[in-house]
Amino acid sequence: MLNLQPIKEGIEVYLNDVKQNVRNILINEKYPIISNKINQFLENHGQLLRPTLTILSYQATEGNFEEEEYNKLIKRASLVELIHSASLIIDDSNDNSLERRGHKTINSLFPKLANMVAVYFYSKIFSLSENESWLKNLYQNTLDDMVEGETRQILRNTKDPEKILKINRLKTASLIETSCILGASINTNNKRLLTSFSKYGENIGQEYQLYDDIKDIEEDKKNNTLTYPILTSIEETQKIISKFTKEAIRSLNNLPLTKAKEKLILLANLLNTK
């Protein structure tokens, strides 16, 4: 598993606020049964990559964490984590997976009802969505991309590596791109800067999926899952990861030099580690 600790250093307090906020959003005494299962699920939060990118993107615009901006940052970082978690619940239900990264899935904790838990997550996501039209469009397009990407993957009807990259962009890179935009846009509406974060997020998303696919190659072979390294080779996959790394770093060229920018660059390089 990718070690994100160097990336998270210095922002742990913000990530803890995100985790607590997600818990507050999901746990409701009116719904004790579902809350109990979700509470077990939340005991094993993932790496929080997407909220981390939301926070770092905000910092990279030299945001100063004023109260109003901070509240918006935690809300948006929580939202991307909820979207990601809901998508994992559906994935695990479709695959009938009982464990993910060594921890029990909702599918294991709540057999036959995992998809209903995902619906519960999405109801909370909608309650967090902001009213600005461009943000509504961003959320809608992101969810549409993820659904399309997952659908194409489930159908598994292509052996074209380029089409696999398209699927990766839809199902993984789209939300990572959105995570970056949501953080950066709190402190700037400069279109050039927001385009930089958009390009960075898309390339990091592609890197991250390919990095994961290399790590999971043996398991994917057993499950007959067609991924880029299976259709090409690990060596070819590492070459294209290097390409995405360079593009991700290049996209940040017009940002001021900050610790957050250095961490964004570090993440791109970590994903390119053989």
Question: Looking at the predicted structure, is the pLDDT value of residue 269 above 90?
Answer: yes
If you classify domain 5-270 with CATH, what class do you get?
Answer: mainly alpha
CA angle 117, 122, 127 (to 5 degrees): 130
Work out the burial of residue 243: count CB atoms within 10 Å of its CB; fewer than 13 is exposed, 13-18 middle, 19 or more buried: middle
Query: What local confidence, expressed as pLDDT, does residue 58 receive?
Result: 98
Share of the chain above pLDDT 90, in %: 70
What does the pLDDT look like over 121-175, one tens digit per residue? 999 998 888 888 999 999 999 999 999 999 998 887 788 999 999 999 999 999 9
Q: Which pLDDT score is estimated for 128? A: 84
What is the residue whose two structure tokens read 């606020």?
Answer: 17
Decide if pLDDT at 103 tops 80. Answer: no
Q: How many CB atoms lie within 10 A of CB 240?
A: 17
The DSSP line for 171-191 is: IIIHHHHHHHHHHHTTT---H
Q: Where are the domains of the chain?
A: 5-270
29 falls in which pLDDT band (50, 70, 90)? confident
Q: Closest by alpha carbon to 156, among 146, 167, 145?
A: 167
Give pLDDT tens digits for 211-223.
Answer: 999 999 998 898 8
Q: Are 182 and 54 in contact (CB under 8 A)?
A: yes
> 262: buried, middle or exposed (CB in 10 Å: 19+, 13-18, 0-12)?
middle
Q: Which segment of 122-126, 196-200, 208-212, 248-252 scores lowest on mean pLDDT?
A: 122-126
Helix (H) or strand (E) holding 211: helix 191-215
Cβ atoms 186, 63 nearer than 8 A:
yes
pLDDT for 185 beyond 90: yes
pTM of the model: 0.95
